[in-house]
Amino acid sequence: MPAQRPATPPSGTLFVGVPDMVRLVRRKGLPACIAGVAARIEADFLRWPEFDKSARVASHSADGVIELMPIADATRFAFKYVNGHPKNTRSGLPTVMAFGVLADVATGAPRLLAELTLTTAIRTAATSAVAARRLARPDSRRMALIGNGAQSEFQAMAFRDLVGIRELRLFDTDPAASAKLAANLRGQGLDVRVCASTADAVRGADIVTTVTADKALATIVTPAMVEPGMHFNAVGGDCPGKTELHRAVLEGADVFVEFEPQSRVEGDIQQLPADFPVTELWRVLAGHAPGRRDARQVTVFDSVGFALEDYSALCWLAETAAALGLGEHVDLVPQATDPKNLFGLLHGAPVAVAA
């Protein structure tokens, strides 16, 4: 376990907003950002027992969900605020919006406040690739990408760079989304074809990534579409009442999850009995459980998104932003010279100067 850092003098909170994150990605390059976050996620998953873990807290409504995702080790506490409202795009808002905080465990002082909408797309793609490197066939080169919305480009590039995908078959119920994705991927070294249906896209694929948004008990992939050796990267089913894979697809596969207590409620496995066997991904990464065993095995990564991935992304973001001189320090919490005299701040008491 890493040694706990000593408390540091008050120095404000580093704020990394959307413009800062855009500048960071442009300076580093998106492939380097995805690879950096992926490496951090894998390293932190190998420290799994060191973390205080819990399922996220969710507030559901008819149109979506708002969630808080907390986690901590002995040094840092992190949380993410995130929503999921599929109808938002009709009114010009993103389906997913997020921000996060990284704080010192020793003092509770918030050290980073950051946008996490772009960062979540990067960390989700990075997590998918980390899992696929252990669960997909090593010779996988063709991927079907079902659901071509805001996260799809990030998934495509992560699988290109970290897994070796060279062919992409796209399908979305909104043809404009597929056209957008195909245009954004032009010149990116991928053979891209827009397909007429999910079945058409999935046929002959080594990996099938589903990243759909509708809050519904959907069956995007049916048993008839499954071929020996396929790996399913099921990303879109991430809350109660929202699925993508037919129950029989799961029953015929080896299923891997992030944090089982959360996945039982939110993942595609919510369709199955509580004793249906699943394996947490960290056990595969640590060598405690097998991943892919042979070329004909069908594997499913039932990914719902877990707070440890956001912890990893926030730590990476804090270090990278600081190294590049991005972001600004803000007084998110009072910085009084006398911390016991909070009331005095309202009457002109001195404010501490940032260290």
- Domains, in order of start, for the chain: 13-118+308-347 (3.30.1780.10), 138-305 (3.40.50.720)
Residue type present at position 206: D
Distances (CA, A) of 345 to 9, 45, 107, 245: 19, 43, 21, 56
> What's the pLDDT at 352?
66
Q: Is 174 a catalytic residue?
A: no
CB proximity list for 170: less than 8 A, separation 6 or greater: 144, 145, 148, 152, 178, 181, 182, 192, 193, 194, 195, 201
Helices 30-45 and 117-135 cross at an angle (nearest 10°) of: 60
Give the length of the chain.
355
Per annotation, catalytic residue among 172, 238, 268, 302:
238
Q: Is residue 11's pLDDT more than 90?
A: no
What are the tens digits of pLDDT across the range 210-227? 999 777 778 999 999 999
Distance CA 189, CA 217 (A): 35
Distance CA 176, CA 157 (A): 20
Mean pLDDT of 158-180: 98
Q: Is residue 36's pLDDT more than 60?
A: yes
Judged by DSSP in three states, 317 sits in helix
What are the tens digits of pLDDT across the range 109-123? 999 999 999 999 999
* pLDDT grade for 9, boundaries at 50, 70 and 90: very low
Mean pLDDT for the chain overall: 93
Q: Is residue 353's pLDDT more than 60?
A: no
